[in-house]
Amino acid sequence: MKFRSSNVFRFGFSMVIAAGIFLSIAGFKGILHADENTYKSLKLFTDVLEELEKNYVDDVNTEELIHNAIKGMVGNLDPHSSFMPPEAFDELQDDTKGEFSGIGIVITMKDGILTVVSPIEGTPAYKAGIQAGDIIIRIDDKSTKDMALWEAVNMMRGPKHKTVLITIIRQDEPASIEYSLQRDLIPMESVRSVMLEPGYGYLRITNFRMSTLDDIKENLEKLESQNKGLKGLVMDLRDNPGGLLDQAVKISDLFLAQGDIVSIKGRQERNTQVFKAYASDDDRKYPVVVLINGGSASASEIVAGALQDHSRALILGTTSFGKGSVQTVRPLKDGFGIKYTIARYYTPNGRSIQAKGIEPDIEVKYEILEEKEKKTSTFDRMVREKDLKNSLKPETTIQPEKVKKQPKKHQRLLDTDQLQHDAQVKRALDILISYGVFSKLNGS
């Protein structure tokens, strides 16, 4: 299947949405093959429209009424189907390429409520402390009640350095919280990596865009070339809202040699397909721990589910978001567009994670581990060999390495010290190191 802009499966939570089909009134009466109930409903629609045109207290904009009807028709199907006016459809292209100016959050409509899926790492929203699951009730001085998703996106995007006021409510917080955020360019960088300890790499994937596969290959090659190869890898998919299906499939294939990766099943046969893994020359047999949380959605869940079902990786963290549906995007006449659900996807073992999510093999909640202050205890005051008079000094047989100049830290580089205090990352690293120790004990 070719992935074209007019018919591409998108698993990310686009930050521009509102969907439907453009139907002309003249077409209503020209339907020859509609069943009787459908025809009656369409006739009712035209009757209501005609009544409003003739007798409503003010003049009505017929085109606007029809567009609102289409928006309601498609929007009520599910949270991810939407009718897009030209301005929203044009901005859809920003979701998988380039950069834009905004506050840096991925949002969706959950039960008709504007909800944060995840903040984008390194952005104003992320730095301010906006969290997955936050409910946005106001943008500047406008309520988000009955606001279309694309309208909310347009209000939060804007000129760089201009301020927008976001009011949210959060579970377990007694009052609403206001954030005054200064818009900035939202980077589309999706992959970063660092060596946590010699032989143990960390790979952070923030979304799945057109260049993500190539970026991951480049980062993996860099990690694998150090310290005689990798002994283990921590793949961080936390707060990753998803993106393109083909990228999720190809990235899963980097770690699998055979078997299914994901299957999609729709009402139409053309929307049913199985994506498989194929053997490659790259030898990536080192153990992998994948980190997920409630902000890991869609394409992230495909990767985590595939590696979990094939016992290729251990999944650690908290249950993922649970978006198991497939959308397609199609352009309509006059610049309008429609995004609607065509299928559900399933993990290799046939699990549908729709509204369920991927459950971790080991549940570890996020927290920052504080450094404990060193306290002098009775045992610390006990005499040791080095304290004895005339004790032999340790013999130095290894020449000290020359001190290398450390490169200046870039704001987008990963902070190894900070990662070491991340409870989930620390637990993942401990598991990988323990696995290596026990493998040696077992002679494998």
> For residue 305, with 0-12 CB atoms within 10 Å meaning exposed, 13-18 middle and 19 or more buried, which class applies?
buried
Question: Is 404 a domain residue?
Answer: no
* CATH number, residue 267: 3.90.226.10
5: confidence class by pLDDT, cuts 50, 70, 90: very low
Is 387 part of a structural domain of the chain? no
The domain boundary residue, chosen from 157, 186, 215: 186
Catalytic annotation present for 162: no
pLDDT of residue 24: 41
Q: Which has more confidence, 155 or 417?
A: 155
Residues 1 and 121 in one domain: no
Instruction: Please indicate, yes or no, whether residues 83 and 210 belong to a single structural domain of this protein.
Output: yes
The four Cα atoms 401, 405, 406, 408 give a dihedral, to 10 degrees, of: 180
- The confidence score (pLDDT) of residue 312 equals 98
- Supply the CATH number for residue 179's domain: 2.30.42.10
Buried b (16+ CB within 10 A) or exposed e, 252-290: bbebbeeebbbbbebeeeebebebebeeeeeebebbbbb
129 or 34: which leads in pLDDT: 129
Same-domain check for residues 86 and 140: no
Q: Is the residue at 388 inside a domain?
A: no
Q: Which of 309, 320, 339, 422 is catalytic?
A: 309
Task: Name the β-bridge partners of 262.
Answer: 275
- Active-site annotation holds for 260: no
Q: Same structural domain for residues 313 and 175?
A: no
Across the chain, what does the average pLDDT equal?
A: 83
Catalytic residue among 298, 300, 320, 325: 298
Query: For residues 176 and 193, is the Cβ–Cβ distance under 8 A?
Result: no
Q: What confidence tens digit (pLDDT) does each residue in 334-376 have? A: 999 999 999 999 999 999 999 899 999 999 999 988 754 444 4
pLDDT category, 42, cuts 50, 70, 90? very high
Question: Are the C-beta atoms of residues 350 and 330 closer than 8 Å to each other?
Answer: no
pLDDT over 70 percentage in the chain: 80
**Residue 273 domain flag:** yes
Q: Are residues 106 and 92 in the same domain?
A: no
Residues 138 and 51 in one domain: no
Residues 345 and 241 in one domain: yes
Q: Are strands 232-236 and 288-292 parallel, antiparallel or unpaired?
A: parallel
Q: How far apart are CA 321 and CA 263, in angstroms?
A: 19
Catalytic-role residue among 323, 325, 339, 422: 323
Q: Is the pLDDT of residue 381 over 80?
A: no
Last residue of a domain, one of 127, 157, 186: 186
Specify whether 300 is catalytic.
Answer: no
Nearest to 328 by CA among 16, 23, 78, 5: 5
For 329, half-sphere exposure in the C-beta direction (CA atoms, 13 angstrom radius) is 27
Half-sphere exposure of 267 (CA within 13 A, CB side): 2
Q: What pTM was estimated for this model as a whole?
A: 0.77
pLDDT at 390: 47
Q: Answer with the residue of higher pLDDT: 278 or 98.
A: 278
**165 and 294 share one domain:** no
Please say which residue of 155, 186, 217 terminates a domain. 186
The backbone torsions φ and ψ at residue 242, rounded to the nearest 5 degrees and listed phi first, read: 115, -150
Is residue 382 a part of any domain in this protein? no
Q: How far apart are CA 349 and CA 308, in angstroms?
A: 10
Do 77 and 114 fall within a single domain?
no
Residue 389, pLDDT score: 46
**Domain residue limits at 121:** 99-186
In a shared domain, residues 117 and 198: no
Checking if the pLDDT of 78 tops 50, the result is yes
Domain count, the chain: 2
pLDDT at 121: 82
Is the pLDDT at 49 greater than 80? The verdict is yes
